[in-house]
A and B are shown apart, each in its own frame.
Chain A
Amino acid sequence: MLNIAALSGKIQEAFGALDRHHLNGGQRLAVKYFAVAMILFLAQLLFGLLAAIQFVWPGFLFDLVDFSVNRMVHINAMVVWMLYGFIGSVYWFLEEESGTEIVGLKWGEIAFYVLTGAVVIVVLVYLLIQTGPGNDATRWLVNEGREYIEAPRWADIGIVTVMLVFFYNVAGTFAKGRWSGISGVLTLDLVALAGLYMAGMFYSTNVTVDQYWWWWVIHLWVEATWEVLVGCIMAWSLMKLIGARRRIVQTWLYIEVALMFGSGILGLGHHYFWIGTPDYWFTIGGFFSALEPVPLVAMVVHSIYDAGVHRFRSTNHPALGWIIAHTFGNFLGAGVWGFMHTLPQINLYTHGTQWSASHGHLSFFGAYATINIAFFYLAAQRWRGNVWMGGDLKDNGWKWKWSMILLNLGVMGMTVALLIAGYEQSFIERAVEGSTWGGYFAAQNQPWFVQAMLWRLVFGVVTLAGALLLTWDLLTIGAGETRLALVLEPEEELAAEPTVAVAK
């Protein structure tokens, strides 16, 4: 007979207790955002996997949950979990960075439940209703039918309202407490981020005008304001994790903002090559988007250099590992993979092929999934009572190490498989066959393409395995740990007055 008491003791031992008393107000709200983010991350992978299976076996779930539905849930879950991660990360450090309590925590709580409720309803409608008649009601209630921002209009309005509450909390709390370089950049960036979303909230029959503004949301989010937002989050986390000096991280942050907005805002032009817009965008979009990798190199240098200066001594090894994975992934996925097909001379052939999917997979993972995962580890550590999370973890930390290996291997494997498919499509469908439907299918039937889709599926499974292991690790890491987290030397005071030392 099963010994219930022994079993529950075992469970207790494995998972330990999470004590919210270790968290400040903002952090208690943050862990709610993180929990939903993690669930949506798993949902993203699950629906991605279903779509990947359909590429290999097209009859799978046909007329039940079609590719269009799986793919929509896949990319929407991604956008939303990343936003949840960012909002959670900001709430995580808001009180520490401002030195005061959050001005409207209650509103923040309500906004969280409203947003989560809306997300659940939107996903259920996507899955159960899927499409509607070609009228305005469908766009308002079911599906807007615009990639990445498919959420129906009622949900758009909800999202903007929730973002306003979030913005009020951020700006209001810093105004009540203290401002810093990080908080200044963050606040201005959030104004832009929320404002840009509204560029995607109107209908136009003119498909060129439609896609013009649609890119304002998509590009100016992921290649500008999101990048700056994670720049702020990374700056704060480096101070926390390795004791980097504020002056150093803030100077880097300003450099990154200058380079990121300097290249990213007009880099928007690389989406305006083929949608009917004037051809001066060839020059502007090509030139500025080619510069987009530059700030990402700066971030790699910054994180590695600073971690090296501090001899990789950190308060939280898994988090630092994921921060470094973030800077590399951002540079490689967004920077290198983006640069490879950004000039119009090559984009004429790569546009609308799996090349974009390859870039999308590595860049979203590298730039954004990674840094959110780093914050999940910061949250797990504090939630357990600010316990030890350096080297020499229980079980040698195999779970975080292996989940990190599997996730990076899985995403990189999918990226390379999709890139091979993209090369093949660019040559056969686009260059040779001239993009007719016959050319499209000739490329889809090419053995290189077929094999690539199979490999993508295999590495998709590897990615999901990594995410499941990550979930297990986040639920158990630090349980039963009695040592307290590493305390970093108060380097800041020493370094803040270098002139005094020299003057003597």
Chain B
Amino acid sequence: MNHTPLWASESFWKKVAIWVTAGSFVLLIVLTFDSMSKVQAGSRRVPAYSVINQKIDYRFDAQLNRYMPVIGGDEPLFDRPLSEAEAEALVTLGKKTTQAKNCINCHTILGNGAYYAPDLTKSWLDPNWIDAGNRENLMLAFLKNPPGNARTYGTGRRMPHLGITDEEARGVIAFLKWMSAIDTNGFPHNFKTLYAQEE
């Protein structure tokens, strides 16, 4: 045996490495274009920002066999219907506030972040707000003074003062409401919303 077999040769694996890498990358680019076209605000998966004017729920879909957002009739945030542009501006303020206040280093957003505080993906729909009619006001009061309105459920963990203004808090609430309407492929599973609890 005076030559290296193909499967053990450097040049063979070099070619394999190049082709596999290039092929995978091209495939990723194609999938990225496809995914981007399907997740723009206003698409079936990610609703338009003005969805905050409507009632949002999250129910088990027997046909798909997973939980899905359900968009209902009018239920404007703070009883004030917003245009698409106004809604986008408010959600944008909220999103920027969640970044500026570093929410993701205690909470998770779409399940990503830190695990010191609850997930925010469906927080708009959480049964602990008890009364859907009073939910915005409770959230507003909480965000403006978290330690004063803390409910630690026995853990002793409180959200600190972050200096969130009234306008920023309204933005955060709009962002959370909009996010709860995103189709997250059934995550979280088995989540019983405020409305489900009411029934």
Contacts and interface: CB of A to CB of B under 8 A. Distances in A.
Contacts, number: 265
Interface string A138-150: 1100111111001
Contacts of A437: 118, 123, 126, 128, 153
B102 A150 contact: yes
A272 B45 CA distance: 13
A54 interface: yes
Given A59-B156, A436-B128, A352 B97 contact: no
B54 interface: no
B66 to A, nearest CB: 9
A131 B163 contact: yes
Contacts of B45: 208, 276-278
Interface residues of A, number: 93
For chain B, give the interface size range: 35 or more
A28 to B, nearest CB: 33
B132 interface: no
Nearest to B8: A251
A39 interface: no
Interface string A275-288: 11111111010000
Contacts of B49: 205
B99 interface: yes
B20 A206 contact: no
Contact of A434 (B95, B158, B190): B190
Interface in A439-482: 440-442, 444-445
A275 B154 contact: no
Given A72-B105, A276-B110, A499 B2 contact: yes
Given A67-B106, A258-B16, A352-B111, A435 B188 contact: yes
A247 B14 CA distance: 12
B98 interface: yes
A262 B24 contact: yes
Interface in B98-155: 98-106, 108-116, 118-119, 122-123, 126-128, 147, 152-155
A135 B100 contact: yes
B179 interface: yes
A136 B93 CA distance: 10
A308 interface: no
A51 to B, nearest CB: 8
Interface string A239-253: 000000001001100
Interface string B19-57: 011001101100110111011110001100100000000
A208 B112 contact: no
A147 B110 CA distance: 13
B184 A274 contact: yes
Contact of A352 (B25, B27, B112, B183): B112
A46 B56 CA distance: 43
Interface of A: 51, 54-55, 57-59, 62-63, 66-69, 71-72, 130-136, 138-139, 142-147, 150, 181, 185, 203, 205-212, 247, 250-251, 254-255, 257-258, 261-262, 265-266, 268-269, 271-282, 284, 348-349, 351-354, 356-357, 425, 430-438, 440-442, 444-445, 499, 502-503
Interface of B: 1-3, 8-10, 13-14, 16-17, 20-21, 24-25, 27-28, 31-32, 34-36, 38-41, 45-46, 49, 88, 91-106, 108-116, 118-119, 122-123, 126-128, 147, 152-158, 160-165, 168, 171, 175, 179, 182-192
14 contacts: A58-B157, A68-B103, A134-B164, A147-B113, A181-B10, A181-B14, A207-B175, A254-B13, A262-B20, A271-B112, A275-B112, A277-B38, A434-B188, A441-B152
Given A181-B14, A208-B45, A430-B189, 4 more contacts: A67-B114, A71-B105, A133-B168, A273-B185
4 closest A-B pairs by beta carbon, nearest first, are A145-B99, A134-B97, A435-B188, A441-B153
